[in-house]
Amino acid sequence: MNGLMQGVQLTVDRIINHAAQWHGGREIVSRDAEGLVTRTDYGAVHADAKRVSNALRAAGIMPGDRVATMGWNSARHLAAWYGAAGMGAVLHTLNPRLFPEQIAYIAKHAGSRILIADPSTVDLVEQLLKQVPTIERVIFFCDRAGMPETHIAAISFDEWIADQPADFVWGDFDENSACGLCYTSGTTGNPKGVLYSHRSNYIHALMTLQADALALSARDTVLLVVPMYHANAWGVVYSAPAVGAKLVLPGQRMDGESIYRLIEEEGVTYSAAVPTVWQMLLEYMQENDKRFSTLERVTIGGSACPESLIRAFRDDYGVEVIQGWGMTETSPLGTVSVANASVAAKPDEEQMAYKLKQGRLLCGLEMKLVDDAGNRLPHDGKTPGRLMIKGPTIAAAYFGAEGGNILDEDGFFDTGDVSTIDAEGYMQITDRAKDVVKSGGEWISSIEIENIAAGHEAVAIAAVVGVVHPKWDERPILLCQLKSGAQADAADIKQYLDGKIAKWWMPDDILFVDEIPLGPTGKIDKLTIRAGLEGYSLPFDASL
């Protein structure tokens, strides 16, 4: 027997339709590369999105065709996002911070037919067109006056949609239809395409809006620092319009001063970004004796959050840090570190141990730990294992059948993370499977050492990698990038680590570098670090 409820399809156009109808006047603020701030609202973005659908249809784009964007967070990008998805095309985001060869590979693999790009990426676009014959047309996210100098045939976004009607029938397709296409970072081989459905994105938005997740509301002003080209901007492109939150889109300026000014000028209450962005912001505030007047909470994800960062936000500025975990294949949010009843009843200092974990599973998902043979491991907070996840927002395969079958016999996806899960249900990443330092048959967590080292007053960023050792297989070494004007030596860092990590975890060498390389999404790029260490040998006495 079926239920007697209406069979409405869960397509993402319903989200922007709701925003326009019930929160149409709620403001959307964009800042461009020159710092110019422009203002619009959900009603106007909804109308422009309809014009985008008509412009795409006029260009011969049909449901299932890929439409690529390569731009920063802006209202124009948001209109293109919903305009493509609403008419059944697949919105395919390209990361302009990737190497040109990677961008070309991704665009070619996706078979994108239209490219809508930020004017600042014009050089990349020119290179791309030489390598990706499927791209038929280029549009730049700007008005006519903002068009970049280029020899390619292109048109401004505003001109492209100007004569199109703000009326288009959206969502006339099944909710399981493809909606968006985002590629993994490709740190271990070619990037792989994750093809989201309308249903998965809609469900993900509802999951993230839970009180024990991002907990966004119509009363929030959201600064969306997470790039729209990075895993659905952590779903905020859907969850913020769903509740009618004011949306502040910062463009490409991510320095501490620029982020701080937007927070204060726009009355931001919530934001989300990777740790490196928040570290730059806090450094700026500390150096200039700044305070927040409206910011209440931030979500930090993309990589593990150092304790020093959580404490600085909480103790110095009264801002709650919500740590989250996810990946491109999980839409991306999977867990959020919000206190349950028993943890909330503990003293503040005892709660810190839980804030440092990646958190509890969102409703609708399943999670387990297994060993290398696939056997389930206990949730005792001590036993590390491969983290496996399953649910309606989790990838079942890669676009183009890359990688073959990616699920185990029970339908779980292997995240590639090594984790523990405790009795309260809190998951903690101990490392990426490929980054674990395997010393003497035991695992050393590079992430834990990095987070503790980053708490040293002189350290801006810390990175740990394993180096071949004649006796122990591998031993950890620590690379430190110091804060501007700060000084420290290896003895200082070792003294700071002493007593905070197991003695056998102590790095065999500590190197000071001008800059620790970061990947295109702000994570520490250990592939580049390892390449830079070619020819490096551990200190002579390391085998003793």
The two three-digit tokens of residue 536, written as one number: 């490096």
Choosing from 93, 121, 184, 221, the catalytic residue is 184
Cα(81)–Cα(492) distance, integer angstroms: 49
β strands within 42-144, DSSP E? 66-70, 90-93, 114-117, 137-140
Size of the chain, expressed as the number of residues it contains: 544
Q: Are residues 363 and 210 in contact, defined by beta-carbon separation less than 8 angstroms?
A: yes
Choosing from 93, 234, 325, 329, the catalytic residue is 329
Q: Which of 223, 208, 215, 212 is nearest to 292 (CA)?
A: 223
Asked about 438 being catalytic, the answer comes back as: yes
The two three-digit tokens of residue 125, written as one number: 């676009």
Asked about 160 being catalytic, the answer comes back as: no
Cα(278)–Cα(300) distance, integer angstroms: 8
Asked about 108 being catalytic, the answer comes back as: no
Give the ranges where 256-306 is alpha helix by DSSP (H): 256-266, 275-288
Cα(330)–Cα(311) distance, integer angstroms: 28
Q: Are residues 379 and 421 in contact, defined by beta-carbon separation less than 8 angstroms?
A: yes
Look at strands 333-336 and 320-326 and give their pairing.
Answer: antiparallel
Choosing from 346, 434, 438, 471, the catalytic residue is 438
Choosing from 27, 257, 443, 483, the catalytic residue is 443
In angstroms, the Cα distances linking 330 to 91, 204, 392, 458 are: 17, 9, 9, 35
- Please classify residue 539 by burial: count the beta carbons closer than 10 Å to its beta carbon, then call 0-12 exposed, 13-18 middle and 19+ buried: exposed
Q: Are residues 52 and 60 in contact, defined by beta-carbon separation less than 8 angstroms?
A: no
Cα(173)–Cα(50) distance, integer angstroms: 16
The two three-digit tokens of residue 478, written as one number: 């620590």
Strand partners, 67: 91, 114
Asked about 443 being catalytic, the answer comes back as: yes
In angstroms, the Cα distances linking 300 to 184, 230, 261, 341 are: 19, 14, 19, 22
CB atoms within 10 A of CB 491: 9
Which residues carry out catalysis?
A: 184, 329, 438, 443
